[in-house]
Structures are given as C-alpha cells and as structure tokens.
Amino acid sequence: MQVIDRRLNQKNKSTVNRQRFLRRYRKQIKQAITKQISKRGVTDVDQNESISIPSKDITEPTFRNGDGGLKERIYPGNKEFDKGDRIKRPPPGGQGAGRRASDKGEGEDDFSFEISSDEYMEILFEDLELPNLKKNQLTKLVNFKPIRSGFNTDGTPSNIDIVRSLKGSLARRIASQSPLKRELKAKEEELSSVTDPDENKALLLEIEELKKRIKSVPYLDTYDLRYKNFDKLPQPTSNAVMFCLMDVSGSMDQQTKEMAKRFFILLYMFLKRTYKDVDVIYIRHHTQAKEVDEQEFFYSQETGGTIVSSALKLMLEIQQDRYPAADWNIYAAQASDGDNWNDDSRICHKILTDKILKLVRYYTYVEITQREPQNLWYEYLKLKENHKNFAMQKIAEQSDIYPVFREFFQKQSVK
C-alpha cells in the first residue's frame, strides 16, 4: 500500500510533535549540547547541530503478556530441583535480554537527530540573564513579549481556537444547508398533493438526493479552522552596555586566545539573542589597550607585553565619555591568562575597588590557564570576598567554557 499526503499544509506538519519531543528530552539534549559545543569552531557557534542522545532515554513504556498460569516443563541437566518444586520467575531485563548485535559492526545505542540553529540557541541560552539589570531610561534595550493578534486560517494544532472554529463551522453549515432544506421542504409539500405514481416516484428520488446532499455537508471542514495569531510586542527595559576586555599579550598562546574568543562569542550571541539592542565595547590589550571593532577583536594578530590596568583605564575613559552610570546598566567581562606585572596587579585591584565596581552591575573575570593561578588571580580573589557584583572562574580546557559561562549568567531565580 502506498500512502500519498496531499494535504495543502504539509510543510512543518510535525512541528508540534517535534516541540513536544524537545521539551520531553530537554535534559538529555542540553547535556549533548554541553559536550559538543567545545568541538565547534569560533565562527560556527550558531549553526545547526546534529545531536545524539542515548536511545534508552527515549523508549516508551509498553504492556506485554507474561508467562502466567501453571506449567510443567522438563529442564535437561537439572541437579537442583525435584518434581513439585516451585521455581521463581527470572527477573525482567536480566542476562540475555540485551539488544541483538548488528551484523554491520554498528550499534543502536544512540538516537541521532538534527536541531535547527534557533532551537540550538534557545537551549544553549535558556535560563540565562544579565544579573542585576535595572530600569534606568526606557529607550534602547528591548525584550519581546508575545501578544494576541487576531486569527489565522493556518497554524499549528496547539494554537487552534475551538470556539471560533465551531462558529465558522456553524455559519458554513447554515449557509450550505439552508437552500437545500428549503428545496426539500417544497418537494415534500409537493409530494403530499401528487397522485400520479410516476411523478410520485420521481419526487421521492429527488427528495432522497436532497437528503444525501444535506448529510454530505461536513460538520467541520478545514475552511472552518481558525488559529490564534501572536505578534511580538517590543517591551522596553533598560539601557545596557557590555565591556569585553581580552588579553592578547605574548603569554597568551594561540590555544588560550582561541578559548578566550569562544567565551566572548558565546557572550555576544547570548546578548544579541536575549536582548534586542545592547552596546558591546571590545577592548584588546597587551602593554597598551585599544578599543576595536568586532572583526579586529576576534581576528587581529597583534601582540606584546602585559599591562592589564591599561584595559581597565580605557574602559573607565569610555564609560565616563559615553555611558553615564545614571543612565546605563554597565557590565564587564575580562579574559586573561593571569600573567601580569606584580605592581600592575595591585593597580588593577585598586582601580576595580575604588571606581569600576562602584559603577558596574556585574563584573566577570575568567582566567584561562592550565598552570597554577598567577598574581592577578590572587588580587582578584580579594575583590570576590568583598563585592557581590564580582565573579571569577578558571578555565583549563575547552570543555570548561560553556559551564563557566552558564555559571556567570544563570538566572538568580533558578540557582
């Protein structure tokens, strides 16, 4: 038998089932994404992803008939039981109940499927937010709120409006059946006054045909279906700016810089997806700090010595010139390998304590190194003890990036 789907709305007809599947196995999918994101390149963080989850996690519960009743069996080689002894039923799922081996050398332990870039980004950044965000001037940073906006003749089953659909069905049935019912009534009245047998037979056939036509009008047709329509209404919240400070000194080897870039790309994608508009300021530093654009921040090969305080001083200059604290929510994220001059690390501590941490809503520092913590780390530890808006973590390998990122920006209500 060959089944051909001729429905007009066949595109995305499995969307509801797909979304139900993603919700049901969200935990396993998130674990798979966490493992795979460290394998992605810097430029393909937001691409589609092929996900594999254990097939045992998606098995459905089933009912089956067991071996019941009293039975007599002969077991060859029996040395333990005599006639009349009761033998316990073996527990389900015991030895020998495994899956049949593949003759192609491949197992069936994983279930693989592909999620779109939107689904990937939604799962990647769910339950994340900018901490301590407050409303200052409601002008720039905008969230979107879905609002009802009339009805559509096309949509997903989860958005169907039953009452509106039934009203349309009733109106259509009245419009379609009323002429036929009037004609039927006229024929029945005419039949009561006809005496000729042939004419009587013809009228009966016409009446029967009219009744069939009336019954053939469907109770609910696809033309009757109405779906709730939703539009995204911009919800103004607050002005916000994120300062990204990246160490590009000679002590930062290529692998360390690559991990720093991954961290900042995650941050950039999170901000652009979660908030409509947020200013991002990119600062690269070695012995000198420089404000750069996105392209230069991620791809420039410039390097040199290390003076971390140069980046902090430049951040303060930009903030005082363009982002007054009274009007802006100020955030900062810093990435470094921690290698810095001892005297300069103390200067960094002083700048952060006396100025920056009094202005920012939240400041994050990530130290990317496999070595023992450097002097900058110990100076920043003192800040963490006394400032709730300061957070710091260490990254040793690529698999640490995403967990650290989530730890920084996890919603306070779900911690």
Q: Give the model confidence (pLDDT) of 303-352 as tens digits.
A: 778 899 999 999 999 999 999 888 888 999 999 998 888 789 999 999 99
Asked whether the predicted pLDDT for residue 140 surpasses 60, the reply is: no
Task: With CA atoms as reference, report the closest residue to 134 among 351, 415, 360.
Answer: 360
Helix (H) or strand (E) holding 351: helix 342-351
Question: Picking from 87-101, 264-278, 356-370, which range would have the lowest pLDDT averaged per residue?
Answer: 87-101
Q: What is the pLDDT of residue 97?
A: 45
* Residue 137 included in any domain: no
Residue 278 within any structural domain of the chain: yes
Number of structural domains the chain divides into: 2
- Are both 373 and 409 inside the same structural domain? yes
Residue 287 sits in a domain whose CATH number is 3.40.50.410
Same-domain status, 325 and 249 = yes
Is residue 220 domain-resident? yes
CA angle (176 as vertex; 172, 177 as ends), nearest 5: 115
Task: Answer whether 384's CB lies under 8 Å from 392's CB.
Answer: yes
3 state DSSP class of 25: coil
* The token pair that represents 390 in the structure block: 């300061």
Q: Which helix (H) or strand (E) holds 216?
A: helix 197-216
> Could you write out the three-class secondary structure of 277-298?
CCEEEEEEECCCEEEECHHHHH
The pLDDT score that the predictor gives to residue 364 is 95
Predicted TM-score (pTM) of this structure: 0.56
The pLDDT of residue 349 is 93
Helix H or strand E encompassing 142: strand 142-152
C-beta atoms surrounding 84 within 10 Å: 5
Q: What is the mean pLDDT of residues 257-261?
A: 89
Share of the chain above pLDDT 70, in %: 69
In this structure, are 209 and 251 located in the same domain? no
257 and 218, same domain (yes or no):
no
Residue 108 confidence (pLDDT) above 90:
no
Does 251 map to a domain? yes
Q: Are 216 and 264 within one domain?
A: no
Beta bridge partners of 148: 230
Residue 71 lies in a domain: no
Q: What is the pLDDT of residue 161?
A: 87
On whether both 267 and 390 belong to a single domain, the answer is yes
Residues 206 and 330 in one domain: no
Write out the residue range of the structural domain in which residue 206 sits: 162-225
Can you tell me whether residue 148 is helix, strand or coil? Answer: strand
Question: Are 179 and 242 within one domain?
Answer: no
Task: Single out the residue in 225, 250, 265 at which a domain terminates.
Answer: 225
* 355 DSSP assignment: I
- Please indicate, yes or no, whether residues 294 and 319 belong to a single structural domain of this protein: yes
User: How far is Cα 378 from Cα 65, in angstroms, rounded to an integer?
Assistant: 66
Regarding whether 275 and 242 lie in a shared domain, the answer is yes
Contact predicate 318/348, CB 8 Å: no
Domain final residue, candidates 225, 258, 280: 225
**278 and 405 belong to one structural domain:** yes
E strands, 342-402, in order: 362-368, 390-395
328 within domain boundaries: yes
Q: Could you tell me if residue 138 is inside a domain? A: no
Asked if 209 and 242 sit in the same domain, the reply is: no
Per-residue pLDDT averaged across 14-22, rounded?
60
Does residue 82 lie within any of the structural domains?
no
